[in-house]
């Protein structure tokens, strides 16, 4: 399977990319950290592709689509994983710049990738789009209002897109569960360490994501716990 993953520089995107490559799948990924992207690029063969792309910048995503289409073709599965977290604080204390950046990555980034790659998937007549949401895209907590807003938006965007896609295409909003990523540590501090690591999570999540399809179209899905 040809799998495109955004946000592969670290965290869930990184472990998904490495797991799928090890499983024989062709992986196309992007991230903003040059060192991490080069590390992935030099650690795999030419059947895979990793690029430095900021999904918040629509013009760069458009160029990325053109080059990926020319070199590797259209993916069978898109995993919109790229996201950032706000520094925990009351909403009225969140700097405007920080709020805008979070929305640009977490919401506009998902839209930019779908707008670039989606038409080709629809034209081909097959494909699955998985947009990573969060438990904070279905419930809320204090001091993470910007992140909650972004993930509620991903849920709504995904469900609306699912209603637009022709059979057998699908769009699925996926809550990955609670994982001890750097992002969770930013929100919860040392408390985050009690949850599964990305390496533990991916053993369940990677095969689970691969079986998502039309039967799950528009359904809020959650990765099963360990």
- Residue ranges per structural domain of the chain: 2-215
Backbone dihedral angles phi then psi of residue 146, each to the nearest 5 degrees: -60, -45
| Sheet with 221-222, side-by-side order of all strands | 49-52, 26-31, 2-6, 77-80, 128-132, 170-175, 221-222
Structure tokens given for 82? 């790229």
Would you give per-residue pLDDT tens digits along the chain (226 residues)?
999 999 999 999 999 999 999 999 999 999 999 999 999 999 999 999 999 999 999 999 999 999 999 999 999 999 999 999 999 999 999 999 999 999 999 999 999 999 999 999 999 999 999 999 999 999 999 999 999 999 999 999 999 999 999 999 999 999 999 887 677 666 666 666 667 788 999 999 999 999 999 999 999 999 998 7
Give the 3-state secondary structure of residue 4. strand
Q: Which of 147, 152, 195, 201 is labelled catalytic?
A: 147
pTM for the predicted model, two decimal places: 0.95
Q: Active site includes 147?
A: yes
| CA gap 170, 159 in Å, rounded | 10
Q: Does domain 2-215 have CATH number 3.80.10.10?
A: no
């Amino acid at each position: 399977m040809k799998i495109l993953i955004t946000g592969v520089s670290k965290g869930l995107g990184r472990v998904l990319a490495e797991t799928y490559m090890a499983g024989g799948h062709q992986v196309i990924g992007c991230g903003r950290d040059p060192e991490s992207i080069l590390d992935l690029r030099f650690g795999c063969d030419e059947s895979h592709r990793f690029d430095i792309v900021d999904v918040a910048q629509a013009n760069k995503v458009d160029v990325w689509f053109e080059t990926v289409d020319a070199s590797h073709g259209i993916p069978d599965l898109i995993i919109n994983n790229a996201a950032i977290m706000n520094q925990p604080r009351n909403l009225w204390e969140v700097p405007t710049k920080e709020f805008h950046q979070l929305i640009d990555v977490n919401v506009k980034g998902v839209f930019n990738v779908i707008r670039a790659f989606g038409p080709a998937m629809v034209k081909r007549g097959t494909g699955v789009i998985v947009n990573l949401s969060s438990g904070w895209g279905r419930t809320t907590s204090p001091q993470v209002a910007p992140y909650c807003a972004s993930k509620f938006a991903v849920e709504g965007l995904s469900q609306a897109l699912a209603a637009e896609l022709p059979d057998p295409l699908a769009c699925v909003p996926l809550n990955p569960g609670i994982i001890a990523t750097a992002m969770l540590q930013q929100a919860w501090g040392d408390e985050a360490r009690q949850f599964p690591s990305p390496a533990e999570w991916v053993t369940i999540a990677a095969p689970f994501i691969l079986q998502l399809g039309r039967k799950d179209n528009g359904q809020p899905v959650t990765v099963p716990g360990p």
